[in-house]
Amino acid sequence: MVFDKQNYVPGTHPDLPPPPGTVGIVGWVKNNLFSSLSNSILTILSLYLLYLLIQGGLSWFVVDAVVNANDKPSCRKIGDGACWAVIVKRFDQFIYGFYPLAERWRIDTSFLLLLIAAAPLLYPDIKFRKYMLIFSCLYPFIAFILIKGGVFNLLMIETNLFGGAMLTVIIGVTSIACSLPLGILLALGRQSRLKLVKLLSVCFIEFMRGVPLITLLFVASTMLNYFLPPGTNFNLLIRVIIMMTFFSAAYIAEVIRGGIQAIPKGQYEAADAIGLTYWQTTRFITLPQALKISIPGIVNTFIGLYKDTTLVVIIGLLDPLGIGRAALADTKWNGLSTETYLFVAVIFFISCFAMSRYSLWLEKKLSTDHN
């Protein structure tokens, strides 16, 4: 059979396969890695970099690494890679701090309950959302009683025993939960027609955003007591949470203000036209739309806050980083800073990366664009 284009009636030519080298793996490699000379050089450089990383990384992290040893010298005798023994020996502390061993089920339970309480807030489509939201509202009280104790035959635990990842979660979740309502109020205040309210909100927001968090934490640890009635002296953890709340409230206020400003003017005009009051407009028109737009921004603020909880180590609280530094101060593990800090870095990376993926997913889901 002779394939000659003249033999076909116009329009009846069968589809030919695409030319070899433009589809499949070969085509993909050609298009994405070696499409031009500069591209090929870049690919080879990248491959070389990867080779160096994998070769060096594998031997240090895995092949020559030591997992089981009692101190650094015995670690070094077994292999010259990473000495993960410092992590293995103190793993419990990295999670629970110095929380008493017999009471750790309380932390586990409150963490599991946190997942249940957070589910209806994070996944709008979940079943029985209404009933679960009631539980979410009750959760802070349940968690407080569980973790702190003192009632229902639960042993009272001093907050200076709190530490590790648990402390990070406590500070992060409490601060963000408290800063949301405050942030909404500040955002509304900044958009307010009342000059004085606006001025106060702007001052608060700009002050909090203008100074580094570490100075605010110093304020909390050194001079907050001056502003309270003489004789009051309350817990450092609570002081830290208050400062973190103020700090993130300022950032959340700016995120929400962005959401409020994105609402078309027609919405307010329509609300005015049907005679809604300011608070009705805010409750039924402004906030539902503004909050929806700003959720990804709020999640990003939360990621920032969650990362910033590491700063508490500077004023003496023992979050995972603080536990790591305590381990390094021990003469047995002196000098293993790379292993310790990398481990803490990986903990933070996993949780922050998961949160940022969630934020992206939510952004896509909430988007009402048509493209």
Partner 1 sequence: MSFDLLKIWRNEKSREIIVQIIVLIIFGWFISWLAGNVSGNFEKLGKDLSFEFLFIPAGYDINQYLISYNNRDSHLRAAVVGLLNTGLVAFFGIIIATIFGLFLGVLRLSKNWLANKIAYWYVEFTRNVPILLHILLWHGIIINTLPHPKQAIDILDVSYLTNRGFYIPKPIAEAGIELFYLFTIIAIIFAILFNKFSKKRQENTGKQLPVFWINLIVIILLPCIALILNNFPISFSIPELKGFNFRGGLHLSPELIALTFALAIYTAAFIAEIVRAGILAIHKGQREAAESIGLKPDKVMNLVILPQARRVIIPPLTSQYLNLTKNSSLAIAIGYMDLVATLGGISLNQTGREMETMVLVLLIYLCISLSISSLMNWYNYRVKLVDR
279 lines the binding site for partner 1 (CB under 8 A): no
**CA atoms of 147 and 44, how far apart (whole Å):** 54
Using the rule CB under 8 A, is 223 a contact of partner 1? yes
The answer to whether residue 193 forms part of the interface with partner 1 (CB under 8 A) is yes
Q: What is the DSSP letter of 83?
A: B
197 binds partner 1 (CB under 8 A): yes
**Angstrom distances, CA of residue 164 to CA of 97, 312, 315, 326, 336:** 5, 12, 15, 11, 18
Question: Quick one: which of 21, 22, 26, 46 contacts partner 1 (CB under 8 A)?
Answer: 46
| Minimum separation from the CB atom of position 14 to partner 1 (A) | 33
Where does this chain touch partner 1 (CB under 8 A) — which range of 19-27, 61-69, 114-122, 352-360? 352-360
Cβ proximity to partner 1: between 8 and 353 the closer is: 353
Pick the closest to residue 83 from 103, 61, 100 (CA basis): 61
Per-residue contact track with partner 1, 157 to 186, x per CB under 8 A?
------------------------------
Nearest CA among 158, 179, 120, 130 for reference residue 237: 158
Q: Of the candidates 23, 70, 335, 366, which one interacts with partner 1 according to CB under 8 A? A: 335
Tokens of 139: 């959760």
* Closest distance to partner 1 from the beta carbon of 321 (Å): 6
**Contact between 358 and 364 (Cβ < 8 Å):** no
Cα angle 39, 42, 43 (rounded to 5 degrees) comes to 85
Number of residues that bind partner 1 (CB under 8 A): 58
Q: Does 235 bind partner 1 (CB under 8 A)?
A: no
Of 227, 206, 205, 223, nearest in space to 215 by CA: 223
Verify binding: residue 254, partner 1, rule CB under 8 A. Answer: no
Q: Are 157 and 99 in contact (CB under 8 A)?
A: yes
Lookup result for tokens 């992590």 = 87
Is 207 a residue that touches partner 1 (CB under 8 A)?
A: yes
> Least distance from C-beta 24 to partner 1, angstroms?
15
* Amino acid symbol at 153: N
Q: Is 214 in the site for partner 1 (CB under 8 A)?
A: yes
**Binding of partner 1 by 200 (CB under 8 A):** yes
Angle between helices 287-308 and 337-366 (to 10 degrees): 170
Provide the CA 80 distance to its chain's centre, in angstroms: 34
Among 7, 22, 70, 215, binds partner 1 (CB under 8 A): 215
Asked if 325 and 313 touch (Cβ cutoff 8 Å), the reply is: yes
Q: What are phi and psi of 202, to 5 degrees?
A: -60, -45
Tell me if 241 sits within 8 A of 167, measured CB to CB: no
Q: Does 264 bind partner 1 (CB under 8 A)?
A: no
- Residue 280 touches partner 1, criterion: CB under 8 A: no
Residue 86 half-sphere exposure, CB side, CA atoms within 13 Å? 30
Q: Which of 91, 123, 135, 218 binds partner 1 (CB under 8 A)?
A: 218
Please select the residue that binds partner 1; options are 132, 219, 237, 326, rule is CB under 8 A: 219
Least separation in angstroms between residue 338's CB and partner 1 is 6
Q: Residue 193, SS3?
A: coil
Among 128, 131, 152, 227, binds partner 1 (CB under 8 A): 227
Residues that bind partner 1 (CB under 8 A): 32-33, 35, 39, 42-43, 45-47, 49-50, 193-197, 200, 206-207, 209-215, 218-219, 222-223, 225-230, 303, 307-308, 310-311, 313-314, 321, 325, 335-338, 341-342, 344-345, 348-349, 352-353, 356
